[in-house]
Structure 1
């Protein structure tokens, strides 16, 4: 596993994929999506059936396999432990999770989230209350591990990318 890993996490529509790709390109890192394959489907199946142990196992496998694919290269993950933390009870997660990595929470308010998701052609519509619940979960679970919260609704793309480059630089220097 590489020691230069950063995860960009947050609820749908926060800008994770856009910023993760831009950050990876700008710092010479590999962009990886731990849940962009069968692990994501397994993860959601476990979540939807109330299987917290299954959520943790699928999350762990997805992240571990992504880091193995990095082969020691610097890596930017498009989602990480914080996503898993929002899918299970907080106390369960705190007691069981062991694969921590530096993580930046990308966050935007509910109106921005709904507007951004409404612009996606492939997005399954969910109730505003469902999205609001997950926005609260991300902010709450963010407190489990240090790292920046970057408001993508209050800052332009370049400002967010500059903050992420700075955070990645701190990680790379061991800071």
Structure 2
């Protein structure tokens, strides 16, 4: 049995409904919602990854993780909006073994076409379609490789996806 806090992660590319569902999952579990790769960590991670400075990527991710634990470590349950699978999309596979923090993770996933449609409705920085294709494919590939639960938020509406996430989380915590 895991000791306090329980850590669950919900990962996935932009536009999958991940943040909405992660917030709702945390609420359903009476847990803390945490977003380790928000400002300033997320932009720093991307910058380091684009520069292929993978040592910096690992250091930034570790600092973000430790900051969350320092702030919320006494909470009984933490629900992370992104964690190790996002990190692994930025690192070469040869470096994956170096990351020790791999809590149970569910991946929110949709296809590229739906990703692009959803992201077009946002007022955010845009990236080329090839950039999004890489991440859409990578999250699915890594989710399968590391045996994560994959929730297709294109085939499940928000309530269905939330029910699947709650069932997944309760199953993880019952083990």
Scaled by the length of structure 2, the TM-score of the pair is: 0.92
CA contact (8 A) 1:2 1:70 kept: no
Helix, strand or coil at the partner of 1:76: strand
Aligned residue in 1 for 2:78: 75
CA contact (8 A) 1:4 1:171 kept: no
Helix, strand or coil at the partner of 2:33: strand
Separation in structure 2 between the aligned mates of residue 101 and residue 166 of structure 1, nearest angstrom: 16
Q: Report the CA distance shift for 1:91/1:140 in structure 2 as closer, same or farther (over 3 A).
A: farther
Structure 1 consecutive aligned stretches of length 4 or more whose deviation exceeds 6 Å: none
Aligned residue in 1 for 2:61: 59
| Matched pairs, number | 172
How many angstroms does 1:144 deviate by? Answer: 4.4
Scaled by the length of structure 1, the TM-score of the pair is: 0.92
Separation in structure 1 between the aligned mates of residue 88 and residue 128 of structure 2, nearest angstrom: 21
Separation in structure 1 between the aligned mates of residue 168 and residue 69 of structure 2, nearest angstrom: 19
| Residues 101-159 of structure 1: CA deviation (Å, up to 9, x unaligned) | 111000000111001110001x2111111111111111122234332100001101111
Helix, strand or coil at the partner of 1:8: strand
Separation in structure 1 between the aligned mates of residue 147 and residue 70 of structure 2, nearest angstrom: 24
CA contact (8 A) 2:5 2:78 kept: no
1:140 lines up with 2:141 in the alignment: yes
Separation in structure 2 between the aligned mates of residue 116 and residue 48 of structure 1, nearest angstrom: 24
1:124 lines up with 2:125 in the alignment: yes
How many angstroms does 1:53 deviate by? Answer: 1.2
5+ long unaligned stretches in structure 1: none
CA contact (8 A) 1:104 1:148 kept: yes
CA contact (8 A) 1:8 1:80 kept: yes
Moved more, 52-61 or 74-83: 52-61
